Amino acid sequence: MSYRDLRNFTEMMRALGYPRLISMENFRTPNFPLVAEVLIWLVKRYEPNADLPMDVDSEQDRVIFIKSVAQFMATKAHIKLNTKKLYQADGYAVKELLKVTAMLYNAMKTNTGQQEEEQEEETTAMSFDISSRIADLKASRQLASEITTKGASLYDLLGREVELREQRSVAINKPLEINEIEKHLKVSIRAVEQEIKKTEQMLNNVASDEANLDAKISKKKLELERNRKRLQTLQSVRPAFMDEYEKLEEDLQKQYESYLQKFRNLGYLEQQLEEHNRTEQDKFELNWGGEQDQLKETENSLKRMQTLLKTETDKINLNDDEFEDVMVDEEEDDDEDDSEDDEIMTAGQMKPQRGGKADAQQQLQQQQRVFGSMTGPDSDDDDSETLSSGDSEIDVDDDDLDDDQSGDSEEMEISANPRRDRNNLNDSDNDF
């Protein structure tokens, strides 16, 4: 037993038209009822009038059934079956059943092939008959058109039957008069006589018509012979432009081949261009995504800088307000000091000049303390300027009062710097 045998057996039984669906799993274990059913069906397919015992209940009945089937197939189909394998009713019985099914399947194939050949012959015969009976086809078409016209006229006449029925009944019921009947008969006789004369004239003219037709036929025959001769001469003579025509055909073939090659190349290049554009588009999308991230980062950094600058400007505004208050206080102090100096100068110059110098130094120290506290939040450049101005004030000689005035002017310039720095910061904010 093999998988191929089981598959071939099931396919052949399906092709032969076995009503039951046979699976390859049916013969894994002994299945005698199925084997008996298949054997009966095969024998009936081979010989419908075969007489076989149908009882397979007992062992003796099964033995008799297998022997009768094997004897029938040996005598009728000349096929030798192994009764032991058939009695096993398993995969080995399939090989024995395959012998009978293969014989029936081959016979069915040959029969179908013969039927196809007969159908092809019939179709060819029919096509030959149709081509040879073109005149009959034309006549049938003409009859079909006449039938349709006659049917339409008959339908119209039947539609008028109601009116005609009344007229017919009136004519039938009307009493007949001999004089009128004679008149109608005479009219009809005259009409028939005229028709007879016409037919006699046509018969007399038949001879002349035949002569005319014979003359026309002879003329057509002569024209046909002339045309045939002309055709033969044209076929035998080679045209003058035939060589040029052949050359043009060859050139056209070459041009067509080059066109096909260029067309293929163009299609290939277009495909490559599309792929290149696709890759470039992908790269651009990737780069665009990176640039978007960078732009977002720069925007975030700019926002942070703006917040920092706002805080610094707020601080500077607060420092400016404090600075203005201090400047007002200093102006008041300067006025008081000037008034005291005037009193001292009017009292007399009895005191040594060192006292005046000491007072100037104290005033400078007070101014330095005030300006040093206010210029603290400014930039490094302002601090360096204040330090340099402070050093210059500390190193002032006792005898040089002009240097004190120069120190005061420098301090005023330093005090004016915060406003300028504030304006610069405001401009930077406007830039953002």
CA–CA gap between residue 167 and residue 367 (Å, rounded): 150
Q: Which of 205, 235, 9 is nearest to 101 (CA)?
A: 9
**CB within 8 Å of 104: residues ≥ 6 apart:** 12, 16, 42, 45, 46
Residue 409 C-alpha from the chain's centroid: 86
> Would you give per-residue pLDDT tens digits along the chain (432 residues)?
577 788 888 888 888 888 888 877 787 888 888 888 888 888 888 888 888 888 888 888 888 888 888 888 888 888 888 888 888 888 788 888 888 888 888 888 887 766 666 666 555 544 445 556 777 788 888 899 899 999 998 988 888 888 888 888 887 887 777 888 888 899 999 999 999 999 988 888 888 888 889 999 999 999 999 999 999 888 888 777 888 889 999 999 999 999 999 999 999 999 999 999 999 988 888 888 777 788 888 888 888 888 888 888 888 878 766 666 666 666 666 666 666 556 555 555 444 444 444 455 555 455 444 444 444 444 444 444 443 444 444 444 444 444 444 444 444 444 444 444 445 544 544 444
Q: Which of 50, 53, 51, 19 is nearest to 36 (CA)?
A: 53
Claim: this prediction has a pTM higher than 0.85: no
Q: Which of 33, 103, 93, 35 is nearest to 73 (CA)?
A: 103
CA–CA gap between residue 285 and residue 329 (Å, rounded): 66
Angstrom distances, CA of residue 87 to CA of 21, 124, 237:
22, 52, 86
**C-beta of residue 90 within 8 angstroms of C-beta of residue 1:** yes
DSSP state string for 224-269: HHHHHHHHHHHHHSPPTTHHHHHHHHHHHHHHHHHHHHHHHHHHHH
CA–CA gap between residue 1 and residue 91 (Å, rounded): 5
CA–CA gap between residue 386 and residue 371 (Å, rounded): 8
Q: How many CA atoms lie within 13 A of 7 on its CB side?
A: 3
Mapping DSSP onto H, E and C, the string for 80-124 reads: CCCHHHHHHCCHHHHHHHHHHHHHHHHHHHHHHHHHHHHHHHHHH
N- to C-terminal Cα distance for the chain?
Answer: 93
**C-beta of residue 366 within 8 angstroms of C-beta of residue 330:** no
Query: Taking the CA atoms of the chain, what radius of gyration do you get in angstroms?
Result: 67
CA–CA gap between residue 30 and residue 118 (Å, rounded): 45
Residue 283 C-alpha from the chain's centroid: 26
What's the count of helices (H) and strands (E) in the chain, helices before strands? 12, 0
